[in-house]
A and B are shown apart, each in its own frame.
Chain A
């Protein structure tokens, strides 16, 4: 740890030396899908295509063992947007992960915007849990890997089929309240007894989720957020019965539910952007599985971003160089061992130091140093993983 300190100091040092004006207002989570550049540029009543694309290199070492250098083409996503009439919009996103290894329809929705205060949405939607899930496009983020809490406790990208409502009220000048609430096909059985060997909400995503629910009980999700030009504070939840307790109409098991509560924020002040989220989940698990598959998990991440340079570089008039520090923590098992009464560990702490260079606002080149401290359930000596990543992400 003590050797991480000097570099943190250096980052702080040059952030202070290079103090500059603000990075610009953050995009509110709820509107994130419509504030993508390809949509902002088109006129009303038209169709447009856009997308984003990201790749990176990895060089990691775990307790002295390294797999060497490798390159990864993470995502190639295509958006299709249509404005069909006043207040009627269609948006879809097709994701190709690692080439064609995984192809998924992440979004395909119709919006009926009756007024700013009230809109109906139906289709495959991004569940409004936390801030990351709805606003996860890689060109928007300055760190290559997605936050652990946002991918492992909140299973981003979580898109489910269903419908709901959303809207915005202006409370006083500069301060508004956004709300959204949806009913969707929820997560499935894989939350437990999965190939991770621990309660792992992302494993509950089902291949057939866009076709039918596994138990006929919808998931509820919702988020409310206060939004100001200085930042945003959101509170959100997700609740579903995840197990197939009913087969062919016959009840074969007890109902087991899953709830995730998240709080998220982003703020801009003195040139700094601060952002983060924390999520806590409660999962009903059969008693006999409790030590291995726990019923409580939580995690958090916190980013500090600072523009160390803003100005012209070669061809680019408004280039920005950001420095970023991210702290992360995830506890997969908050329980205790029956026999010894000891706390079950099973947690990961991570620190990421990064620089990101934006020659233009929608294209970013990232360099990260990432370090993980992983402790297994029993609490054996910490596994140290660390490495360097270089990557890029760009809207097109």
Chain B
């Protein structure tokens, strides 16, 4: 004991002891991989580039990624009216959004049955936030309908954009000739002036083109979606849409302090490239017996695949990773009447107010990781579980929904397991 004490008082010994324990500490720190966080499994995340990009394409992807995450402040031209401050804030980790970051759009149904997006009143999209000292928008009393829209995930869209119009049209069945109760139609929308149709790929219908992006398929291309998002969601002007939004109550000519355009075409295009080259949502447990059983029920027994078509094929693309590929988005890219419960009396393009674009079901099981651990399904997030989402299916989907009701409990479980594996 005495010797021990003597030793402890000896400062050399103390130093050695200290160094030794620091050394042990370092070894522990370095050897525990917990000390440096590890990456989540690739099958659990959405925000990764598609496989097979060249190094220079990867560099362009990362450049767009940075812009996608960029937060705009007043100094960067945010506003004067806006909804949120960056793409990433709404499309967290490229996944589905949370109800707090939804968009609201409104309009008015005219007596002749045409739909007025009320642009002179700041429509169709509401910018409920504004920079300091500037009034935010409110929905005008004359509006007859409004939709609340949740951010969809933005992955795999390059593949969807690369599907030729012809293939989409081949699924349309406006008069329900096959008698399955499902009569999908494309949404024809007016193209923006910077839209350049690709010959043999885009098919014009009296100057209108098939919309693909957004819950109502209101945008024809990713570029259009991105350009409009900058302006309508963040209040950022670009070479494509160089004029700032303003609140009609105080009039045009009022705006933010940053001169327009606030973004160059090249920045917008780098974000377009980023979205285009995000991978398709990954599958999990696809070989599980229940999952396979559920898939058969989905496809063969209750005809969910009448709208949620499992496999599409992309056309030619200059990006090899998108060129003529089979992929599995579970959508037909068409509009369907979903019944009165899902009718918000708001619409875009040629679609009826009760019609919605078939939501791609890929990535369905990964929603929770970008929605704060909860789930919000359907265009406005009203369904909290997958089953609730199915129950809301009406209109053209009534048969499928009724078939779902008639499934045994065990079959319902298999179906849900399959959907969660997407």
Chain A contact residues, CB within 8 Å of chain B = 3, 6-7, 10-11, 13-14, 17-18, 61-66, 189-190, 192-197, 203, 243, 245, 252-253, 256, 286, 288-289, 291-292, 308-309, 311-313, 321, 337-340, 342, 345, 353, 355, 369, 371, 376-381, 384-388
Contacts and interface: CB of A to CB of B under 8 A. Distances in A.
B100 A337 contact: yes
Given A62-B37, A288-B129, A387-B36, A311 B11 contact: yes
B18 A11 contact: no
B17 A17 contact: yes
Name the residue among B39, B74, B129 with the largest chain A CB count within 10 angstroms: B129
Given A194-B74, A309-B14, A61 B37 contact: yes
Interface string B72-90: 1111101100001110010
B73 A195 contact: yes
B85 A376 contact: no
Interface residues of B, number: 51
B22 A355 contact: yes
15 contacts: A3-B34, A7-B28, A14-B21, A63-B37, A63-B39, A193-B73, A194-B75, A196-B71, A197-B85, A313-B15, A353-B25, A355-B22, A377-B100, A378-B371, A386-B35
Contacts of A256: 132
Contacts of B38: 63-64
A195 B11 contact: no
Given A286-B130, A309-B18, A380-B371, 20 more contacts: A3-B34, A10-B28, A11-B25, A17-B14, A189-B132, A193-B131, A193-B132, A194-B73, A195-B71, A196-B73, A286-B132, A288-B129, A288-B130, A309-B15, A313-B15, A339-B102, A340-B99, A380-B372, A381-B373, A386-B36
A10 B128 CA distance: 54
Interface in B75-122: 75-76, 78-79, 84-86, 89, 92-93, 98-100, 102
B8 interface: yes
A193 B18 contact: no
A289 to B, nearest CB: 6
A194 B79 CA distance: 12
Contacts of A190: 73-75
Contacts of A369: 29, 35
Contacts of A339: 99-100, 102
A381 B369 contact: yes
A197 B130 contact: no
Contact of B136 (A62, A192, A288, A377): A288
B24 interface: yes
Contacts of B71: 195-197
Contacts of A286: 130, 132
A289 B129 contact: yes
Interface in B36-64: 36-40
Nearest to A62: B37
Nearest to B102: A339
Contact of A309 (B11, B100, B133, B136): B11
B370 interface: yes
Contact of B129 (A11, A196, A292): A292
CB-based closest 8 A-B pairs? A64-B39, A384-B37, A378-B372, A197-B71, A253-B133, A379-B372, A311-B11, A339-B99
A353 B14 CA distance: 20
A10 B25 contact: yes
